[in-house]
Structure 1
Amino acid sequence: MSDDHTHVQEFFGARAADWDRRFPDDGPAYAAAVAGLGLRTGDRVLDAGCGTGRALPPLRAAVGASGVVLGADLTPEMLREAVRAGRDRDATLLLTDVSALPLRSGSLDAVFAAGLIAHLPHPADGLRELARVVRPGGVLALFHPIGRAALAARQGRSTTPDDLRAEPRLRPLLAASGWRMTSYVDEDSRFLALAVREG
């Protein structure tokens, strides 16, 4: 495992136990973002970097009992918290690097990724791998429950143009990775970029 991966695991491993308690009001924002994916009954969807699995119940509700919901995360402690919260009832949990998924090419209809892009050591590679596992015309949602400026303020910094989630950076990054951005929202209450898998 690379140093980058070890760092990510250590960061989230240390924070897993109280993660949901630190951000108790994010549930409705997750549900609204999942609605933006336009999932249908029977669809196959991955929550990439699922953490404690807050998106898994709304994803399951969107695809129904006949759909497939997968949650992938690199950090064992996060997945343990997902199980403790009962969210393994809504999804199959995978302990894996989202940049090397154990999934067939084109096997998914959609990917949901909350807060993922900032933690990818090589964002283009990660986005290309997500594109690999999604069928042409499938959808990607890059989400965060607060916008870029609010997140920067929470972290005691200001937004910069080189932020990966800034639209002028994100649009070409997605395009180079097999995705076409279809919408971009960055407001205090949420960040949500939607993209479609090119054919």
Structure 2
Amino acid sequence: MSDNHTHVQEFFGARAADWDSRFPDDGPAYAAAIADMGLRPGDRVLDAGCGTGRALPPLRAAVGPSGTVVGVDLTPEMLQAAVNAGRDRDGQLLLGDVATLPVRSESLDAVFGAGLVSHLHDPAENLRELARVVRAGGTLALFHPIGRAALAARHGRQLTPDDLRAEANLRPLLAGSGWRMTSYVDEDDRFLVLAVREG
């Protein structure tokens, strides 16, 4: 396992137990972002880096009982917190890495990733792996419940031009990884990028 994996696991492992209580008001933001994905009943969707599974209930509501919801996360403690919250009822939870997803190629209709971009070890390669598992015309949603400026302020940082989530950086990164960006929203109370899997 790489140093980056170990670091990510330690960071989130230590925070898993009280993660949801630290961010209790994010539910409506998750639901609104998922509504914007245009999922249909019966769709197959992956929550990449699902954490404690906060997106799983709205994803299940969007795809209905005939749909498939899978949550993948690198951190066992996060998945355990998802089970403790009962969210395993809304989707199948898998311990795994977005660098090598345990999912068949072109088997999904959509991928949802909350707070994912800043934790990717190799963004171009990892986004390419997300593209691998999604059919042509499928959807990618990159989400954060607050915008870039608000997040930077929360961490006592300034936004810099090299920020991966800046539109000027993210658009070509996605394009080089099999995705075409279709919408970019960066407001105080939400960050949401939608992209379509190129054929």
For normalisation by structure 1, the TM-score amounts to 0.99
**What's the counterpart of residue 133 of structure 1?**
133
Question: Aligned partners of 2:29, 2:35: CA distance in 1, in Å?
Answer: 10
Match of 2:182 in 1: 182
Distance in 2 between residues matched to 1:150 and 1:17, nearest whole Å? 24
Q: What are the residue-to-residue correspondences of 1:58-69 with 2, within 5 Å?
A: 58-69=58-69
Instruction: Give the CA deviation at 1:36.
Output: 1.0
SS in 2 for 1:139: strand
1:46 matched residue in structure 2? 46
Partner of 1:31: 31
Give the AA of the match of 2:121. Answer: P
C-alpha distance in 2 between matches for 1:117 and 1:73 = 14
The root-mean-square deviation of aligned C-alpha atoms, in Å, is: 0.4
Report what 2:12 is aligned to. Answer: 12
CA distance in 1, matches of 2:77, 2:102: 20
Q: 1 CA distance for matches of 2:124 and 2:6? A: 19
The SS at the match of 2:25 is coil
Alignment of 1:145-156 (within 5 A): 145-156=145-156
Q: Distance in 2 between matches of 1:61 and 1:93?
A: 17
Query: In 2, Cα distance between the equivalents of 1:147 and 1:5?
Result: 25
Identity %: 81
1:111 counterpart residue number: 111
Q: Distance in 1 between matches of 2:3 and 2:95?
A: 17
**2:172 aligned partner, one-letter code:** P
SS in 1 for 2:47: strand
Structure 1 stretches of 4+ with a deviation exceeding 2 A read none
**Structure 2: how far apart are the matches of 1:91 and 1:33?**
18
Aligned equivalents of 1:36, 1:7: Cα separation in 2: 32
CA shift, 1:98, in A, is: 1.0
Query: Match for residue 160 of structure 1?
Result: 160
Give the secondary-structure state (helix, strand or coil) at the position aligned to 1:104: coil
- Aligned residue type for 2:42: G
What's the offset of the Cα at 1:102?
Answer: 1.1
Residues of 1 paired with 2:13 and 2:125: CA distance? 23
> How far apart, in 1, do the equivalents of 2:34 and 2:70 lie?
14
Q: Write the deviation string for residues 100-128 of structure 1: whole angstroms up to 9, x where unpaired.
A: 01111100000000001100110111100
2:89 counterpart residue number: 89
Unaligned runs of 5+ in 1: none
TM-score when normalising by structure 2: 0.99
Code of the aligned partner of 1:46: L
- Give the Cα separation in 1 of the matches to 2:117 and 2:197: 17
CA distance in 1, matches of 2:63, 2:124: 28
The CA distance in 1 between the partners of 2:102 and 2:29, in whole Å, is 29
Cα separation, 2, equivalents of 1:185 and 1:142: 10
Q: Distance in 1 between matches of 2:91 and 2:59?
A: 9
